[in-house]
């Protein structure tokens, strides 16, 4: 079993797609991942394809890393690059209940952890990020509970920052969290 510098079990996985919610698709090369060990964490990267004319994520790449720290906590990070948006623009992003599909709606609503308490943000995984001058962004969320990976999930990137009610506008891109334990 491989581990990172903090000793957490780790596996690296390739996403099936970074799907942009639109009708046409353009094939792009995806980043390959290697399965290293069962349990502990998952890393999904892409894109394998993107679609949509004028979508700021059409030529973007993204990496999502989910780490279960061994003490019942979860640390989720999102890194994006190649985003065609003005510096300072903020996008909402969240873990959703289902994998990506042919439309953004197929990922379903936000994943909400059963039994979690606190604000809506504390019961879900929100990963809002701002774009820098290089077209890149980063977000992370730490939760005091383990992300339920009994079924495939995804991360959806939205057009707007997340408001207090959890809304963030149009679903622009989707990253599958495949192969989780």
> Residue 163 belongs to a domain with what CATH number?
2.60.40.200
pLDDT band at 92 (very low <50, low <70, confident <90, very high): very high
In a domain, residue 119? The reply is yes
Which parts of 99-165 are beta strand (E)? Answer: 129-130, 137-143, 153-158
Which residues are paired to 72 by β-bridges? Answer: none
Q: What is the DSSP letter of 30?
A: P
Structural domain boundaries enclosing 77: 18-177
In a domain, residue 12? The reply is no
Instruction: Count up the domains in the chain and report the number.
Output: 1
pLDDT band at 43 (very low <50, low <70, confident <90, very high): low
> pTM of the prediction?
0.76
The predicted model gives 122-145 an average pLDDT of 97
């Amino acid at each position: 079993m491989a581990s990172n510098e903090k000793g957490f079990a780790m596996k690296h996985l390739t996403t099936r797609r970074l799907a942009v919610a639109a009708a046409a698709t353009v094939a792009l090369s995806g980043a390959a991942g290697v399965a290293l060990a069962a349990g502990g964490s998952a890393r999904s990267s892409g894109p394998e394809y993107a679609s949509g004319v004028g979508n700021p994520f059409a030529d973007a790449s993204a990496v999502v890393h989910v780490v279960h720290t061994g003490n019942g906590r979860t640390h989720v990070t999102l890194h994006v690059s190649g985003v065609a948006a003005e510096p300072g623009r903020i996008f909402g992003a969240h873990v959703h209940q289902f994998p990506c599909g042919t439309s953004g709606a197929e990922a379903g609503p936000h994943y909400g952890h059963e039994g979690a308490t606190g604000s809506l943000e504390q019961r879900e995984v929100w990963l809002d990020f701002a774009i820098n001058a290089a077209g890149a962004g980063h977000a992370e969320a730490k939760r005091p509970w383990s992300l339920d990976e009994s079924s495939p999930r995804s991360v959806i990137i939205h057009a707007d920052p997340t408001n207090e009610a959890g809304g963030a506008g149009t679903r622009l891109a989707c990253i599958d969290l495949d192969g989780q334990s």
